[in-house]
Amino acid sequence: MNGANGGRTLAADVLAQLVERGETVAVAESLTGGLLAAELTTPAGASKAFVGSVTAYATGVKRDLLAVDGALLAERGAVDPLVAGQMAAGVRRLLGADWGVGTTGVAGPDSQDGQPVGRVYVAVAGPSGAAPARELGLDGDRAGIRSSSVQAALELLLGELIENVRAQDTEQSGGN
């Protein structure tokens, strides 16, 4: 996705922020099925900040590999903001990254766990813990929903990286 950033992609902007800080990222994907990892590994030099990914499509993988709470999954299903947050925290811990990103949702064509097509949650976990997941209500076909989910996850991560820098600057300067 090119824009006012001199033709760079959103993924390249995320990676530049991470490299500048000497930090890393890992991703846990469900509905995006590896597309987020592919986007993050497209820019040259991605290996300086991208650690790896887990495509946790099956609920058991979310529970057993990423340590998503089994009772939460049983009660609310895999398409849930808390699940997205636990996926992000789980992959961060599992792969030893500074930042983790989780995606879960319904790309279609059918609803899942009582959730409509286009309901997606993306979450980021960083050094200070997990931020609240972002809920997306997306329209379009399966490919469009998945692509929009990747972009939303990158936007959320970039926003958290920028906010984290501001918070550190405020702490260091003694501001409010």
- Total domains present in the chain: 1
Instruction: List pLDDT tens digits, range 89-104.
Output: 999 999 999 999 999 9
Residue 97 belongs to domain with CATH number: 3.90.950.20
Domain-embedded: residue 176: no
Spatial separation of the C-alpha atoms in residues 8 and 4, rounded to whole Å? 8
The three-state secondary structure class of 125 is: strand
Domain-embedded: residue 1: no
Residue with tokens 């991470």: 18
The three-state secondary structure class of 17 is: helix
Domain-embedded: residue 152: yes
Instruction: List pLDDT tens digits, range 51-60.
Output: 999 999 999 9
pLDDT, position 116: 98
Residue 83, domain extent? 10-169
**Helices marked H in the chain — which ranges?**
10-21, 35-40, 59-64, 70-76, 81-95, 142-173
Domain-embedded: residue 88: yes
The three-state secondary structure class of 21 is: helix
Please report which confidence band the pLDDT of residue 169 belongs to, taking 50, 70 and 90 as the band edges: low
Domain-embedded: residue 2: no
Domain-embedded: residue 98: yes
Instruction: List pLDDT tens digits, range 135-146.
Output: 999 999 999 999
Spatial separation of the C-alpha atoms in residues 29 and 1, rounded to whole Å? 20
